[in-house]
């Protein structure tokens, strides 16, 4: 039977960009004999409107059983006054938590046609293709104790950075596996100079490397120096593996080396399922963009490239993923731009649907 895809388009521009992904999915079924069993369901505000909760148990169950989940975006001003437990974001957090998606892959890739869009010089970013692997389910965002308490006359805010050996080991393995499919190079970033968790991080990454991945080139860098090097000469890196907090900052910074939020895909991977595929959720980095929702202005490329990541990491279709990325590159090289990709000098934007159609055409020509 065909591999299964659960599509959770969500709110705002989520359904608009997902429509274009569906054209691509359809193309693979028709033209490459690579068909998926696609099921649509609700998440976020859309699920709240229908069921009074941002993610039903039934949808959670489907997500656990799908070969991959594709998510659009959640949230919007309509839901801002809801109780914390019912906020659209809770739906997404529940998916990540219950699927135990500990490895967050954020590529920073610069298509040549958009190199002048970066705030950095063209030669620093043109052709850039690096991957940040961020630990997503532990660290200082989750560690206990946490809270705000009183000490004498003062309030004190507390968070705890805590990593177990096995939490470090599993994300390290995921980075080394990734490196083997890429350029066989990993840089691990922490602050072992000032943090115990950083000392353990470096030890465990080194041990896993020596025992299982000695063929991969491993280096270590303090995360602050890493931030500097990312801005100075990002092409020195291939795969970067780091913790939740540093990964949050480094992946946002790295992403912006390359231009628009409308271009950035992501994958969140967990442990392998019975069929050997990792639990996986693919989503664009951007949100629901209420300011442009419903106007046909959204750039669908981030969501389309997220599907390309699904082809590569869930379905072992690296060549087809590359075909899709090349099609995106071709369309950009032809000068086609959604509004977010037009610089100060302007130009005529194409719509969300026109961008999707152009990419399908480029696939046809591939
Ligand atoms: P946002 O990413 O939705 O939008 C930021 C800016 O980028 C806006 O000006 C928007 O128009 C633009 N933009 C974003 N994606 C675009 C695309 N594909 N094409 C063209 N322009 C694009 O972030 P914002 O405004 O902070 O949040 C809006 C809502 O989305 C909030 O409810 C927020 O909670 C939610 N959100 C959801 C996320 C998710 O579902 N993973 C992630 C981030 C925010
Ligand atoms: Mg962030």
Annotate 87-154 with three-state secondary structure.
Answer: CHHHHHHHHHHHCCCCEEEEEEECCHHHHHHCCCCHHHHCCCEEEEEEECCCHHHCEEEEEEEEECCE
215 is catalytic: no
40 is catalytic: no
Q: Where are the alpha helices (DSSP H) in the chain?
A: 14-31, 45-51, 57-65, 88-98, 122-125, 165-181, 196-212, 223-232, 244-256, 301-313, 318-333, 352-364
Which pLDDT does position 232 carry in this prediction? Answer: 93
Please check whether residue 191 is in contact with residue 224, taking contact to mean a CB–CB distance below 8 angstroms.
yes
Q: Is the dihedral of CA 336, 339, 344, 346 positive or negative?
A: positive
**29 CA → ligand 2 middle, Å:** 34
**285 CA → ligand 2 middle, Å:** 9
- The single residue of 185, 252, 326, 357 carrying the catalytic annotation is 252
279 is catalytic: no
Using most ligand atoms within 8 A of CB, pick from 47, 281, 289, 328 the residue to mutate for ligand 1.
289
Which pLDDT does position 268 carry in this prediction? Answer: 98
Which pLDDT does position 359 carry in this prediction? Answer: 98
Which pLDDT does position 344 carry in this prediction? Answer: 76
On the question of a cis peptide bond just before residue 145, with omega within 30 degrees of 0, the verdict is: yes
- The single residue of 141, 185, 235, 357 carrying the catalytic annotation is 141
Q: Which residues of the chain have pLDDT under 70?
A: none
| CA–CA separation, 349 and 339 (whole Å) | 5
Q: What is the pLDDT of residues 125-140, one digit of tens each?
A: 988 999 999 999 999 9
Which pLDDT does position 238 carry in this prediction? Answer: 98
86 labelled ligand-binding: yes
Q: Name residue, tokens 């969140």.
A: 268
Residue 132 backbone dihedrals phi, psi, to 5 degrees: -100, 125
289 labelled ligand-binding: yes
Which pLDDT does position 267 carry in this prediction? Answer: 97
Any ligand 1 atom below 6 A from CB of 262: yes
Give me Rg for the CA atoms of the chain: 21
- The single residue of 28, 41, 163, 191 carrying the catalytic annotation is 191
Which pLDDT does position 250 carry in this prediction? Answer: 94
Which pLDDT does position 257 carry in this prediction? Answer: 83
Q: Which ligand is nearest to the CA of 254?
A: 2
Report the atom number in ligand 1 closest to the C-alpha of 73: 40
- With 0-12 / 13-18 / 19 or more C-beta atoms within 10 angstroms meaning exposed / middle / buried, residue 204 is buried
| CA–CA separation, 334 and 107 (whole Å) | 23
57 labelled ligand-binding: no
| CA–CA separation, 347 and 193 (whole Å) | 49
193 labelled ligand-binding: no
Q: Please, which residues have CB less than 5 A from ligand 2, an ion? A: 248, 252
| CA–CA separation, 258 and 280 (whole Å) | 25
Pairing relation of β-strands 185-190 and 239-242? parallel
Tell me the domain boundaries of the chain: 1-109+260-366, 129-256
252 is catalytic: yes
28 is catalytic: no
Any ligand 1 atom below 6 A from CB of 290: yes
| Non-local CB neighbours of 36 within 8 Å, separated by 6+ positions | 2, 3, 4, 5, 25, 28, 29
CB atoms within 10 A of CB 60: 17
How would CATH label the architecture of 1-109+260-366? Answer: 3-Layer(aba) Sandwich (3.40)
pTM of the model: 0.94
Q: Where are the alpha helices (DSSP H) in 32-103?
A: 45-51, 57-65, 88-98
Which pLDDT does position 67 carry in this prediction? Answer: 98
| CA–CA separation, 338 and 58 (whole Å) | 36
Report the atom number in ligand 1 closest to the C-alpha of 77: 32
Same fold, 1-109+260-366 and 129-256: yes
| CA–CA separation, 277 and 53 (whole Å) | 29
Pick the residue whose CA is nearest to atom 20 on ligand 1: 298
Which pLDDT does position 115 carry in this prediction? Answer: 86
Which pLDDT does position 337 carry in this prediction? Answer: 95
| CA–CA separation, 92 and 266 (whole Å) | 14
322 labelled ligand-binding: no
CATH fourth-level superfamily of 129-256:
Isopropylmalate Dehydrogenase (3.40.718.10)
ipTM above 0.90 for this complex? yes
Which pLDDT does position 118 carry in this prediction? Answer: 77
| CA–CA separation, 185 and 183 (whole Å) | 6
**3 CA → ligand 1 middle, Å:** 30
**17 CA → ligand 1 middle, Å:** 12
């Amino acid at each position: 039977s065909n591999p299964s895809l659960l599509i959770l388009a969500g709110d705002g521009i989520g359904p608009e960009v997902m429509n274009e992904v569906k054209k691509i999915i359809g193309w693979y079924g028709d033209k490459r004999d690579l068909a998926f069993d696609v099921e649509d369901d609700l998440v976020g505000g859309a699920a709240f409107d229908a069921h009074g909760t941002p993610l039903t148990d039934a949808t959670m169950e489907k997500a656990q059983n799908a070969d991959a989940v594709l998510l659009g975006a959640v949230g919007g001003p309509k839901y801002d006054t809801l109780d914390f437990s019912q906020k659209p974001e809770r739906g997404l957090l529940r998916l990540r938590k219950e699927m135990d998606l500990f490895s967050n892959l954020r590529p920073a890739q610069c298509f040549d046609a958009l190199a002048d869009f970066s705030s950095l010089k063209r030669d620093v970013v043109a052709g850039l293709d690096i991957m940040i692997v961020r630990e997503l389910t532990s660290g200082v965002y989750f560690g206990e104790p946490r809270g705000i308490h009183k000490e004498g006359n003062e309030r004190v805010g507390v968070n705890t950075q805590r990593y177990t050996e096995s939490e470090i080991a599993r994300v390290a393995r995921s980075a080394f596996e990734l490196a083997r499919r890429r350029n066989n190079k990993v840089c691990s970033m922490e602050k072992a100079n000032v943090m115990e968790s950083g000392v353990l991080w470096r030890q465990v990454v080194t041990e896993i490397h020596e025992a299982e991945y000695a063929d991969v080139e491993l280096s270590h860098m303090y995360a602050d120096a890493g931030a500097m090097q990312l801005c100075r000469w990002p092409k020195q890196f291939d795969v970067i593996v780091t913790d939740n907090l540093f990964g949050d900052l480094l992946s946002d910074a790295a992403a912006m080396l390359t231009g628009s939020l409308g271009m950035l895909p992501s994958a969140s991977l967990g442990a392998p399922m019975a069929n050997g595929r990792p639990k996986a959720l693919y989503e664009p980095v951007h949100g629901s963009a209420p300011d442009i929702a419903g106007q046909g202005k959204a750039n669908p490329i981030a969501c389309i490239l997220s599907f390309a990541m699904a082809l590569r990491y869930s379905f072992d279709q690296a060549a087809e993923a590359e075909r899709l990325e090349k099609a995106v590159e071709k369309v950009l090289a032809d000068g086609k731009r959604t509004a977010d990709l037009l610089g100060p000098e302007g130009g005529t934007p194409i719509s969300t649907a026109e961008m999707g159609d152009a990419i399908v055409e480029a696939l046809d020509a591939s």
